[in-house]
Chain A
Amino acid sequence: MEVVILILKGYLLFTIGIMVIYSIRHVIFTLNRLFSEQRIYYQDIIDTDLKTVSVLIPMHNEEKVAAHILNLLIEADYDRDKLEIIPINDFSEDGTRAILDSYAAKYPFIKPLHRNEGDRGKPAALNAAMEKASGEIIIVFDADYLPPKGLLKNIAVCFTDPEVGAVMGRVVPYNTKKNILTRLLDLERTGGYQVDQQARYNMKLLPQYGGTVGGFRRKEVMELGSFNIRSLAEDTELTYRLAVNGWKILYANRAECYEEVPEEWEVRARQIRRWSRGHNDVMFRYFFRLLKARHLSFREKFDGSLLLMIYMVPVILLLGLLDSLALFFLGEMEIFAGLFFLIFIGAYNTFGNFAPFYQIGTGCFLDGAIHRILLLPLLLFNFFFNMWHITRGFLDTALDIVSRRKAHWQKTERFGNDPKVEA
């Protein structure tokens, strides 16, 4: 029994250690954004010799939104001779095919890919489209995104740097007004992009390619094996695959694009559970490869490891909470009282979660959106919500590994019939 208690106490201290490490990490990021010198992105470069671009838009039953993104991409200021748009109709059963064909008939540079056989899901769709694409650079958008006119140039310009393998732009929700969930997700995005990603870019760490509003080198990614069709976090996997092979991933804060965020808690729960399942799968497969990578600095490896583990932290915390309860009932809580530990974990949301209070507050401040900072305390509930569903995603991953079952891609449900920015 003494050994069990020792293990439980040891785990409690381990949990506290993890929280302290992540807290310090995010304090450093926030201070970096507020007070340190900022690295500029390449958006100031004007160059008539930008690379050829293929824009890929995976679509599964996207008749509600397909026309919007195509209309915006038609207006893009990228050289038409160097641009092709490939909307990927991936087993759609609605009117998506007809919409895409009508655009293709009108615009020769829109070249739809209709898929009705083979593997389903975003990674498989992207792989098929990359085989068809001719662009040197692939830029990916989800179907509900609203790209501004100058976005493609902003993304493509960074590939004039021979070391850049991928780039990630900033995602901004347009349906913030809908309800409290969309407002809280807007806050998370602000902290995640304006502070977290930009600080990682400033500090030459490892910004993350997020799978949409971003681009990568087609030939080089295909040579590395394209996307893993079994992965539910193909974006995270690409980030680490490129990084361990010596490519740099950039973050472009000015390359902004609107997206739709989930409007229902149930949909958000499924989304974050899928992210957790996919991200943790990548963690198990890339953790040691990252540590052994030849072209990464110690700082990149260290922070890359923390980023890899980010979806495991809530699991560690939940177990820590249960651990503290066990110790309480065993009468062995000389370290911390159970209630205090609960408060401690709650407070961790303030100091160490991947989108903590001060990071989001700073992001809002930098964006000039001052009043929404008042919503920050409500993220406490979001934190526990996320912790539960991320843990479920982690358990999914564990089961995937043990049972060798195949994960199936799940599309996030769309809400807008008429996507538009409500001022």
Chain B
Amino acid sequence: MLLLCTILLVGLFMLPFLPAIREVMRKDDASPLFINMEYSKDPRYFAISFRRLLLKSAGDLPEGIHNITISKSETIKITNQADVPSDSLIENVFYVKNSLKTGSKVSLQKETYCQGNAQIGESNSIKAVACDGNVDVGKDSTFLRWIDSEKDMTIAENCNLGISATCSGKLSIAVGCTFMRLYGAPIIIAENNMISPAGGESVKYRTVVDGAPTERGISSLPPHDIRNSNLIAEGSLSIGEHAVIHGHIKSHGKIVLGASAVVMGNLFAEKDIEVGPGSRVYGSIFSQGCVKLQQGVTVGDAGRIKSVIGKKGISLECGVRVYGYVATEGKGIVG
């Protein structure tokens, strides 16, 4: 009986170790966790990677239908020029060696690469487009993944821009569009409604003074106040109209920046950030909550890249201009 109990006890004690011993012997999951050693952040990564893979597989192929391997086996349609009629459906990867034009209600179900200019019609449904020329997108179109241009891009009203809309040149977006990531030099919202930003267009880029002192415990600043320091607020921070801050701002609550205020540095907040009409922020904006840029706000400056990051959402009103990158995990809304 004692022997039986001992065996039982030892058996029960060993029980949790048996799967462990098996894993030690078999090494099913012994490899190091994967780190991409080549990863380098690029807002246009999707499109650039797609172009590279497609040209490697199909760059030398003639017009027609072919089977190629990009990341998996695909059928590709290659043409020199494309004028896709309204209500058409293209199910293959689409490679246009010159310009692309689509009518209304066209559906491109796989990735498209256009080496000339692209003119996308109204109410199109497109998985992804990479274009080497300019891109014009008609109203009410939807992109499931991404849209990218090597030059300028103009987006009409009420488009869904998918995961990212990026270009090397100017990215103009009309009201009613939704997005997650934008990249352009600059990004301009509803250009026709543009109002002059505080500081004026001719303002030369000014950096924050190195070693600027830090002020803590501030919850509000009056209108027209001028501060030559970094500001750190334990709670929310409200900054009056026409105030000028020659430093960075950090708040553990919300930041509300009044109309026509100027901030030379970055804005960081644990909650929402609201930037008043006509204000100018020369640095980046980062919020763990939402970011709202009201009419005529300008972020960054020509020749430099700055970012607007709002974890839960971003709202960009008419006349907003951002030199660089805009991203949210939530919903981005224009207008």
Whether chain B is bound by chain A comes out as: yes
Interface positions of A (Cβ within 8 A of B): 39-40, 42-49, 72, 77, 146, 148-150, 153-154, 160-163, 172-177, 180, 183, 186, 190, 204, 219, 246, 256-258, 295, 367, 369-372, 374-378, 421-423
Q: Is B72 an interface residue (CB 8 A)?
A: no
**Which B residues are in CB contact (< 8 Å) with A378?**
17, 20, 24
Query: Is B309 touching A45 in the complex (CB atoms < 8 A)?
Result: yes
In the A-B complex, the 6 residue pairs with the closest CB atoms: A371-B29, A162-B248, A377-B16, A374-B23, A162-B230, A77-B40
Is the Cβ of B307 less than 8 Å from the Cβ of A45?
yes
Q: What is B's interface to A at a CB cutoff of 8 Å? A: 16-17, 19-20, 22-24, 27-33, 35-41, 43, 207, 211, 214, 216, 230, 232, 247-250, 265-266, 268, 270, 283-284, 286, 288, 304-307, 309, 311, 324-325, 327, 329
Q: A174-B32, A369-B33, A422-B31 are in contact. Are A47 and B17 (CB under 8 A)?
A: no
Give Cα distance in the complex from A198 to B30, angstroms.
24
Q: What A residues does B24 contact at CB under 8 A?
A: 180, 183, 375, 378
Residues of A within 8 A of B325 (CB): 44-46
What's the Cα separation between A256 and B19 when bound, in Å? 29
Q: How far, in whole Å, are A377 and B14 apart by their CA atoms in the complex? A: 10
Closest to B30 in A: A177
Closest residue to B311 on the A side, CB-wise? Answer: A40
Listed by A's residue number, 14 A-B pairs whose Cβ atoms lie within 8 Å are A46-B43, A46-B307, A47-B283, A49-B304, A146-B37, A149-B38, A176-B30, A204-B270, A258-B35, A372-B23, A372-B30, A374-B20, A375-B24, A377-B16
Assess the A371–B35 pair: CB atoms within 8 A.
no
Query: With the chains together, A48 CA to B28 CA distance in Å?
Result: 43
- Taking CB atoms, residues of chain B closer than 8 Å to A295 are 216
A161 in contact with B43 (CB, 8 Å): no
Which residues of chain B come closer than 8 Å to A177, judged between CB atoms?
A: 27, 30-32
Q: Name the one of A47, A162, A176, A422 contacting B284, with C-beta atoms under 8 angstroms.
A: A47
A40 to B232, CA, bound (A): 20
Task: Determine the distance from Cα of A42 to Cα of B268 in the docked complex, in whole angstroms.
Answer: 10
Pair A150/B40 contact, Cβ less than 8 Å:
yes
Q: With A180-B24, A372-B23 in contact, is A172–B33 under 8 Å at CB?
A: yes
- CB pair B35–A176 under 8 Å, yes or no, is no
Cβ distance B23 to chain A, nearest Cβ, rounded Å: 4
A173: chain B residues at CB < 8 Å are 32
